[in-house]
Each structure stands twice: as structure tokens, then as C-alpha cells.
Chain A
């Protein structure tokens, strides 16, 4: 059975929607904005690629959002965008499955939950904050708002949350558990994650990310969501591309990327501790890297998948921002070059030797 990517909903520092992503991939790169960190020994600031959620008001009334935290709102925006993009905005959600990948979960509201009882005692804890702080709160809110009654699953596997959750989304369709899955990832920049970033890495020094210069630290944090409406079926028109495979693993060595891929989209994101792995695994391949469009985020593999789906549909590649600064032997195609094949691999590596590989094919 073929799995088709029918709709894409994306929001991040580049803007909102497929058109915004396409424009950013075509060269209109976003600029990281200041993010003030209000906790810790003194006030600090980092620059980050941040998502503007105001477009959510086109889908939901503010009153309906009043008890929904920012993490879930990011996901709701991505979900609505994906369904609208698929032309599925008014379809029945009966039996629609939801699979959500989440790196650290709703850290903003979790921090607020702690704050609700830290000063005035445990009895002052906010029940609303507690409910929203649960890892599956966003998938829950999405299912409630959409009326999606199929199976609902949230996966947290650190950097590999996206490929890991995608394994399950594909499996649900392949074994006939559901006919359609709304698959997505959410990553929220919060007081806690921004503070942790600052303490571990300091304020980003680079003005722009050059991730293919794998030995340099040019990482800039990002946030956002990428959602996809996936359907099973061997025929029919429409859709961007096919989702041919998703795997994760921890192999001791060997070639992770099958030789037939027309392009390997690397998840390198300006962090040298992982960048060196990409240089080793993708040497002498035809590669691209788009993390300067959305920053360093656990949602990145899904943004890569969105870019791959667009390229599969167009039959042409996007240029890699900063691609001329590559420091290992590989071919980086220029903007508009033919894709040159029918398969694109999106590779994500972790510093712990794990990998995820998403395979996108042309329809």
C-alpha cells in the first residue's frame, strides 16, 4: 500500500503555511528575533526563530482558546493548516487517527504549573495548568477541537521523536487500523528551554546558520510545528508525495542511506557535536540542508520532510542556505536543479549514535 502526503501544515520562524515555507526555502530566510529569559541570576536574551500564532484566529475564536496553552496552540495551528491544505477542512473526523511527536512536551505550561504552587503552597496548584502540562495534552486538544475519534498517540523520543512516531503512523495505515492519520510535531520555545539553551550553549553567536560547515557552532534555536495529513491507498490523484518509509535505529556502523536516493536532506543544525556525524555519513552524496529556515529544533525532521515533499512535487530542489560553506566532500545542488530521481531521504542523527531516516517519493 502507498502512503500519500495529502496536506502540509507548517508554522515556524519562517511564517505560517506552505507558501511561507516555500518562500523561505526559495531564499527569503527568516531572521531570529530576541527572546527574553526572565528566570535565573540575571535577565538574559537569546535570538531564536519564533512562531507567530496569530493566524490561528482564522480557524478558532479566541474564546475557544482561553484554556489552551501555547504549546497546544502551535499544534492546533499546524493541524488546521494541514487539513485546509489537503482540502479536508470540512470532512468528517470520525476515525481520524492522530500521532504526535514531541521532544520535551509543553514545557511552558509545565513551568507555569510549578510556579502556581511554588510560592503559595501545594494546595494552590492550578488544575488547568496541570492538565495542559501533560505530554499528550496537545494531541488531546487537537482531537477535541477537530472531533477526531480515531486512535491518538503521543511519542517522545528526544531528537528522533519525528521518525520514531512516523514509524507508528505508517504502521497504523499499513495494517488497516486507520485510513487517515494526522501526523505532526510540536516544539515550543519556553522560559525553561530557552534558559537551558543559554546555560548549555550560551547566546547564539552566529548571525546565520551554516550547518554544512559541520565543525562550526552556528546553531540558533527554533520552534514550531509541522503537520501532515497522511492517507493510505494505491490510486487517486492529488497530494504532494508518497511517504515510502520511516526507520530509526542504532547501527554500529555502515551506510545509513540507501544508494538510490536522488537527494539526502541532512538534519545538521549548526551543532558540531552532531554535525561531524553528518559529514561522515553523507560524504560524497548529493546533499541539502534547510535548518537555517527553521532553526535548531526537535521539529526539524518534520520540516525536512515538508521540504522533501515540496521538492518531490516540483521535481526540483531548493538551494541549501549557506551551502557554499560545506566542509566535507559532497555535492550541494543549486536552486532549481532537477531532482534527478524519485526518492529523497531525510537523515537525522543524534549524538548518541542513533539515526532516523524518512524516505519521501515522487507520486
Chain B
């Protein structure tokens, strides 16, 4: 992996349990983070109630699937943040790259239950899903004609989408890309994580010795990536930089991370190399930190080994695990924290785990560097890491 040219990030957008836009999410992150609650949008007859982080209503849910509506909501915020309106977009080749899990699922539970029960239900829900592909919906609604790609890499999807879109910009496949992730809370995931015994019936506690699992969440994070030519033509400063991306597979187990963290190490190494920097250059790490025993043990050990002493935190106890959106939401937070020069407390962490040689930050912490990592570990053994740089450091 060679050093890659940095790609300008000119707009950020986000919706999660903490707020309907990035400023409100940051305010809750550094103020009073939301608490998970029993699910409202979905029901379950599971005897255990697992609390979740639900995002607010968004426009368009009647016509398109909620995942795509969440993505569109965040994309509009990111475009506005970048100073781009429909007129400005019309003259550009604009790509859309979105990570998701629920956004490409053909299954509609009521429809399938009706089929199993021996009736022929109306086909509208299946058609809605067939036309709900998040990248296609965002491009269609916004009238964009560049490449579209929806990445379905489980919980690293959002991070991978940023890496893929960055390559599009560098290769000249588009002038500008809307890249990120979106996912809605759904029953299949809710029941599925419960069946795997990695959902916590209490608020999740990433990296804490008492952690029992994750809380699901929903939301979307979107970033506007822009070519230098396009950015300079309109005289727009970069808000931050996508410096590097690394990905590697564990090749170990469908749902458990490799115990030695070899895949994550390779992904971090590739992200640093492509960014042209080294471990000591990193100001902080926005960790995956789901609160599951296995993930946090592997991730904590890798961070302690590769990036000793560098502060890290998890926002999963503030957003829930938003699955395909998580990497993108966390990349947005990472860029914002670099701007602010501070990172939030790793909510839910109180007592160190003796199996993890290191601890996340316990309180809002000032950071002075210019480079940060945001990383994701996914089912299927996918590890993905992006390196993000602060604007105004000479690039």
C-alpha cells in the first residue's frame, strides 16, 4: 500500500439518537448523551427487553424505506454544509457511496409471514424494498448521475464506503462524492443479536469489565468528498481531509473477531501507510467499542499494542450500534472532534478490564494533534479504518 493523495472533506451531516443534525449530536455528546430505551418503532415478544437508541422521524419514510430516508436526511445536511445546492450539483459528476445492512434486505417480515401462512400478500412491500437501495435513492432524489455503490459489509460498511469513495475521487471517476452510511432499527437485527447473546439488556458499557453486549441504534452519517479541482473552482476550503483507508479480513469466524487482532492490525497499518503517517502522529482513535466482550478485548489489546498512550473512546453508548451507519457516523464525529480539539468521555466505561491493557478516556479530553483514526470491526471478519486529518495543517 502506497501513500495516497488526501481527499478534501467539505461537508458533514449526521442524524442519530443524539440529534437530527451534527451540531445537536455534538451538543448531546459533550453535554447530556441520550440514554437507550425500550424500542418504540419495533415490537418483539422476546422475554427480554433490549434497550435501543432510536433516531427521530425523517421526511420521505412513506415513500422510501426508512434507511434511505435517514441517509437522504444526512446527505442533505452534508451538502448544505459544503455550500452545495441543486444548481451547483447540476454541473458536476457526483457519486454516491453508502454503507448499510438493512437498506438492501429484500425480506419484509409481514409480507413473508403472510406467504408462510398461505396467502398471497400485496407485492408493494417487496417493490418498495427493490427500489429502496440507499445509494440509488439518494442519487435519484438529488438528480445525481455519477457512480453509485451500496456497500453491505455489515458493521464496517460505513467506513468502507468512505474508503471506496475516496478512491473514486483520486481516480477521477467523479468530481464529488456523497459517502457514508445509513441504517434503521429493524426486528431482524434486534432478534438476531439477541439470539447471538451479544445484546445487553442494560445500557451498554464499552471497554468496561462488566460489559455484556451492545445496544442497537439507528441513524446516518454522510460526508462530502471533493476533488481538488472542483473545490478550487468554487473556492471552498476543506473542512477536514480523508487521508487514508485500510481494510483487511480476519479469515477466522463469521461472527467473532480474530483473538490476536491480526486483521485489525493490518487495517490500521494500511490506513496509516496510505495516509503517509505513523502511530505517534495519531491524536486519538474513535474506536468501534461495541460493548461486546470479544470486540472490546481484541480492539483494546490492538490499540494498546499499536498505539500505546493514544487516547481513544467509543460513542456506542451514545448512539447505539448503528451497524452499517456506525463507521460513517463515527467518521463524522472524528472530523468534528479534530476541529473542536477535544474528544468526549467514553460513556459507559467505569471499571477497567484486566484483560485489556489500556483504558478509554473517562472525561472530555483536549487533543492537540492533526490526525485521528476511526475504525470498524464487522461480522464476517471485516476490519476497516480511516485516517482523517484536520483542516489547515498545510495540506
B126 engages A196 (CB within 8 Å): yes
Report the minimal beta-carbon distance from A294 to chain B, rounded to whole angstroms: 21
Interface string of B341-367 (1 = CB under 8 A from A): 000000000000000000000000000
- Flag if A250 contacts B44 (CB, 8 Å): no
**Residues of the A chain whose Cβ atoms lie less than 8 Å from the Cβ of B173:** 167, 247
Cβ-defined contact, B167 with A141, below 8 A: no
Choose one: B140, B188, B270, B379; the contact of A114 (CB below 8 Å): B188
* Beta-carbon contact of A125 and B381 below 8 Å: no
Q: Is the CB of B140 within 8 A of A113?
A: no
Q: Pick from B61-69, B147-155, B303-311, B312-320 the stretch touching chain A.
A: B147-155
A152 adjacent to B109 (CB under 8 Å): no
- B residues less than 8 Å from A195 (CB atoms): 115
A278 to chain B, nearest CB (A): 20
A158: contacting residue among B109, B136, B146, B379, CB under 8 A: B136
Judged by a CB distance under 8 angstroms, whether A139 is at the interface is: yes
Chain A's nearest CB lies how many Å from the CB of B179? 13
Residues of A close to B250: CB separation below 8 A: 143, 149
A107 to chain B, nearest CB (A): 6
- Confirm or deny: B247 has a beta carbon within 8 angstroms of a beta carbon on chain A: yes
Find chain B residues with CB under 8 A from A250 CB: 139, 144-146, 148
When the two chains form the complex, which single residue of B107, B153, B266 contacts A110, counting CB atoms closer than 8 Å? B107
Residues of A98-124 at the interface with B, using a CB-CB cut-off of 8 Å, are 98, 102, 104-105, 107, 110-111, 113-115, 117-118, 121-123
User: At the interface with chain B, which of A128-136, A210-218, A320-328, A329-337?
Assistant: A128-136
Chain B hits for A165, CB < 8 A:
149
- Which residues B336-394 have CB closer than 8 A to chain A? 378-382, 384
B101 to chain A, nearest CB (A): 7
In the bound complex, do residue A249 and residue B145 qualify as a contact, i.e. CB atoms below 8 Å apart?
yes
B251 touching A148 by the CB < 8 A rule?
yes
Which of B12-20, B51-59, B189-197, B224-232 contacts its partner?
B189-197
Residues of B within 8 A of A (CB-CB), count: 73
Set B112, B140, B196, B381: member contacting A192, Cβ < 8 A:
B112
Q: Contact between A156 and B152 (Cβ–Cβ < 8 Å)?
A: yes
Query: Is there an interface contact between A118 and B152, defined as CB atoms closer than 8 Å?
Result: no
Q: Decide yes or no whether A175 CB sits under 8 A from chain B.
A: yes
Rounded to whole angstroms, the CA-CA distance of A325 and B254 in the bound complex is 48
Say yes or no: B167 contacts A135, CB within 8 Å: no
How far apart sit A193 and B120, CA to CA, in the bound complex (Å)?
Answer: 14
Q: In B238-264, which residues have CB < 8 Å from any A CB?
A: 247-255, 262-263
| Interchain nearest-CB distance for A111 vs B (Å) | 6
Any chain A CB within 8 A of the CB of B235? no
Q: How far is the CA of A195 from the CA of B160 in the complex (A)?
A: 33
Task: Please give the distance in Å from A267's CB to the nearest CB on chain B.
Answer: 17
Number of interface residues of A (CB under 8 A): 73
Inter-subunit contact A40/B251 (CB<8 Å): no
Q: Are A149 and B167 in contact, CB atoms less than 8 angstroms apart?
A: no
Q: Whole-angstrom distance between the alpha carbons of A29 and B55 in the complex?
A: 52
Given contacts A114-B188, A131-B255, A152-B247, contact A177 B196 (CB under 8 A): no
**Contact present for B191 and A192 (CB under 8 Å):** no
Flag B99-114 by CB within 8 Å of A: 1 or 0 each: 0010011110100110
Chain A residues, Cβ within 8 Å of B101: 134-135
Contact flag A114-B107 (CB < 8 Å), given A150-B249, A151-B249, A175-B170? yes
A138-184 contacts to B (CB < 8 Å): 139-141, 143-144, 146-158, 160, 164-165, 167-168, 171-172, 174-177
| Interchain CB contact (< 8 A) of A164 among B45, B149, B188, B252 | B149
Chain B, Cβ-Cβ closest to A72:
B254
Does B130 lie at the interface of the complex (its beta carbon under 8 Å from any beta carbon of A)? yes
Chain A residue, CB-CB nearest to B115: A39
Asked if A58 is an interface residue, CB under 8 A from chain B, the answer is no
A247 and B149 alpha carbons, distance in the complex (Å): 11
Q: Kindly state the separation between the CA atoms of A97 and B136 in the bound complex, as whole angstroms.
A: 26
- B135 — which chain A residues lie within 8 A by C-beta? 157
| Any A CB within 8 A of the CB of B141 | no
Q: A130-B192, A131-B254 are in contact. List 8 more A-B contacts (CB 8 A).
A: A41-B119, A93-B251, A134-B379, A135-B105, A136-B380, A143-B250, A151-B384, A154-B152
Instruction: Write the residues of chain A forming the contact surface with B, with a CB cutoff of 8 angstroms.
Output: 39-41, 93, 98, 102, 104-105, 107, 110-111, 113-115, 117-118, 121-123, 125-127, 130-137, 139-141, 143-144, 146-158, 160, 164-165, 167-168, 171-172, 174-177, 192-193, 195-196, 199-200, 247-252, 352, 354
The 6 closest A-B pairs by CB, nearest first: A140-B380, A135-B152, A130-B192, A151-B247, A152-B249, A122-B46
